Chain A
Amino acid sequence: MSVETVVPFVMVLIAALLPLSLLPVMIWAERKVSAFIQDRTGPNRAEILGIRLGGVIHAIADVVKLMSKEEMTPARVNRFYFVLGPFLALFVPLVSFAIIPLADSLNLGGTVIPLRAVTLNVGILFVLAVTSFHVYAVVFGAWASNNSFTLLGGLRSAAQMISYELGLGLSVVGTVMVAQSLDLGRIVEHQGGTLLGFLPAWNLFLQPLGFLIFLVCIFAETNRNPFDLTEGESEIVGYHLEYSSMKFAMFFMGEYIAIIGASAVTATLFFGGYQVPYLDTDFLRAHSTGVLRVMLVSMGAICFVLALLYRRYHRRLTALYHDRRRNEARMLGGMMLLMGLAAVVALLFVSPLPEAGGQVVVAAVQMTTLLVKILVVSFFFIWIRWTLPRFRYDQLMGLGWKVLIPLALLNIFLTGALLVFSGRT
């Protein structure tokens, strides 16, 4: 088995597992951030042997709850479509990760290995296509429930998604024009380097209007607040009314995977993707040993700081409660200490890396960068949800058709004019 055959499989695995493993993080973040914004503590009760991880354990509790709930299937529904809806809702968003370049391509002695699951020269359209398939989940789920209210809810959100797909598609045209390619890899490559010497050359700065439209549309596409009419349970009935237990959970998880996917696409299109600001791939590769050292040093430092913090936390717990909550501080503090020591030991043994090793290290750094960007954008999703009120349906449609689409067209026109006048075509 050569590297060229192994890497794609690894990439498919990463593309499938990354969103799934980010899923509990997202759900946790949603609850914690909302608590923070509303000045509450948020979930912190569920524990295993005193370990609460600041509420992450609640995710497990949620899963157990959802799985053990009674599974209700309404009378006289078409089972096939009834199951197809949540199934599509969960798995369609997963696919969009396949096209995201996770790091710059490896270049091993002339053979170029792209670090993404699917290499398609029309990548950006693939993203749009996947987004448009998400509608089927809503439509089938709503129709199969055999309930007029869910049907109406489904029609509403299907109309919403179709309408905003147009704005979405048009808003990325500017990005494509700047990069002169539909390939996501090329679009990310184009975002390396700097603008005017101090700004990273991200499309965020090259395409501010496009970014704004894209952001609004992607919110509507993922059915997130302020466009979450589909599930505005207080005033309008949503399409998954009749779903319970795991089938509901699939819709629920699908929504978060869609958010993670949307964040990844946003990060890739507008935040430079895997590009580390100011440091391009060539620079990183040329200094791969240094990069590894810096990584180990910073990792060690973070671990030690965390270990110290846990020690202090342990003291406080001992003074206040003196119960098994201390287990958490003990265990995690110890783990941090061990990891910090491991980093120091590794630092001592670092020797100049071979070419391939250096590239792998750089790829790891770039993947981490992308991950950070994804998390930041996801945080933004959550932030918006707990800050803005919901749109009314006619306002939503009006915004999509009468504001965003014309603006997106204007953006295309402006971008084209700028490209022509700056002679970059």
Chain B
Amino acid sequence: MILGIPDPWVLSGFLLTILATLLCVIYGIINWNKGDEDENYLE
């Protein structure tokens, strides 16, 4: 039993929640300074 949760469905819900959060964090860090290259025409 992993993390004290016997049911694979509930366990995957738990792990996916953490993975999805990590995905957001890692994506944010990698792209922290990207995405404003072509916005100068607004100024």
Do the two chains bind? no
Mark B residues whose CB is within 8 Å of A.
none
A interface residues (Cβ-Cβ under 8 A, vs B): none
